[in-house]
Copies of this chain bind each other. A is one copy, B any other.
Amino acid sequence: MEEIVDFRDERDWEQFHNPKDLAISLSLEASELLENFQWKTSEQARDDKMDDITDELADVVIYALLLSNELEINLEQAIKEKIRKNRQKYPVNKSFGSSKKYTEL
C-alpha cells in the first residue's frame, strides 16, 4: 500500500483520485483483464496471455487498494465480513455443487 501511495504522490495524482473516478478505473482495468479471455478458452488464455493477465490483475488490485485508502475502508475486515454474509446467502446444503445465484436457490 505504501509503495502505491508513494507512486501516486510523487506524481501529484491524488487530486484526480476521487472515489467515482477510481471506481470507473477499477471497472476499466477489470475489463482489460477480461479482454485477455475474449474469443479464447481459459486454456488458450493461460497459454498465450499469462504476462498480460498478471499485469492487469495487479492493476485491478492496485485500484482496489487506492479506493479503499480513499474511502478509509479496512479491506481485510470487509472481506471477512463479506464471506460471513455469503455463508448466510449460500448455505452449504442449498448451494453445494450449484452455480445458481442466491436469489434462485
Contact = CB atoms under 8 A, between A and B. Distances in A.
A31 B28 contact: yes
Contacts of A36: 23
A39 to B, nearest CB: 4
Tallying the copies of this chain within the complex gives: 4
- Where chain A touches its partner, the secondary structure class is helix
B46 A62 contact: no
Contacts of A32: 31
A40 B21 CA distance: 8
Interface of A: 3-4, 7, 10-13, 15-16, 18-21, 23-42, 45-46, 50, 53-55, 57-62, 64, 67-68, 71, 73, 75, 78-83, 85-87, 90, 92, 95-99
